[in-house]
Structure 1
């Protein structure tokens, strides 16, 4: 069984704890100074503690703290050379962390769907080990990327869930406007997006080909697609991703200058 310590049990750290708890392959220690954060993950973690020294006993340590807390945590995090340190601190370069620990460091950008085993994550090609690959596989899908692409990954799969929630809510509202009650509309909208995503992942056809497959001539779907094709909806989404990417670059500047 692989032992994992998650340092920082906020939204993302907590999601990883919950996702790993769904498997029988991981023994998880949750570490945080905030008793409320530990209480929130107590049902999923094998143990909780405010003692960061516990991380030294883990095979994999996940650094799930805010960027501004990275320096302070690394000062107290005394790891061995045979451990893997997985950092998810947005904007903090892998090398910045690697210079401050003996552990092998890999930088990842996951998302909150780790909680249900549906995470999308990017991981740096440098520093990743088979043990870390197996852990990421346990909570979703991941892609190994050059770290130069981490800012766009942060925007696509890190910020992307919020953009998807926004679109789901729009489709839900259309259902409500058409007479469905809110619960019915939310179920249908959310499950439709979930099913569409699964189709994209599992079907060999391109997204454009899948759209064509749903759009029967003179049917209902193509009428709706004509509205979208005539709008700037796609450009608005592209601009939202670009804005998130730019913010990721801004966050990393303070660490790159050191």
Structure 2
């Protein structure tokens, strides 16, 4: 996730990007997108905005290792780790975000804590996609919907691609058609004033091909399986939150 943000921001104007990691291979993988790479965490003291992009179980160790001042902003994206847990460990303003991998291409969907978000963080998020400001109590479900969501979409996209292959399309042909269909449908939802149900109806003509396929989906438990997947991800985010509070 950190690499995706870095790569996305490298295409935006006005940012000096410093990548810090103890793993030289990790630094090498993002060197071309960074102004500077280093293994020295003290460099964080020189930044206006510090993004801590690590796993939930080590985020507090990283925060304790960097000395930030009250005029700096600390952004975390660790699932389940609330701003309340982090704030006692730093003087910086703490903002929690949940982006996703599409930040790399400028198509990110992100959630951010509305009580602490700053204009600098808004500008960063806006540079790599779309974002919503939400109550921190809603971050677990946001983590499941937009943080874990790309994997669920990839799964469904792959199923549609495979159907194309099974029907005789070449693998690359089916992948292009399926991926562009998901992309176009998503953009239509974002730009249209119609509800999703209305958009479905707009594609379905009586006795046509689409309604035939939709009847199969409506008669299946496909929607319930997606809801269950999101719920499972949300539940795990809440478990991580309890674990971070216990520490």
TM-score by length of 1: 0.94
Give the match for residue 143 of structure 2: 154
The 5 Å alignment of 1:165-244 reads 165-244=154-233
1:99 aligns with 2:88: yes
Give the match for residue 237 of structure 2: 248
Q: In structure 2, what is the Cα distance between the partners aligned to 1:237 and 1:75?
A: 38
1:22 aligns with 2:11: yes
Runs of 4+ in 1 over 4 A off after TM superposition: none
**Deviation, structure 1 residue 69:** 1.2
Q: In structure 2, what is the Cα distance between the partners aligned to 1:120 and 1:214?
A: 25
Unpaired segments ≥5 residues, structure 2 = none
**Deviation, structure 1 residue 29:** 0.3
Q: How many residues align?
A: 247
Q: In structure 2, what is the Cα distance between the partners aligned to 1:202 and 1:48?
A: 39
User: RMSD of the TM alignment (CA)?
Assistant: 0.8
Q: Secondary structure at the match of 1:72?
A: helix
Give the match for residue 72 of structure 1: 61
TM-score by length of 2: 0.98
Unpaired segments ≥5 residues, structure 1 = 1-11
Deviations 1:187-238 (A, max 9, x none): 0000000000000001110000000000011111111000000000000000
Q: Secondary structure at the match of 1:30?
A: strand
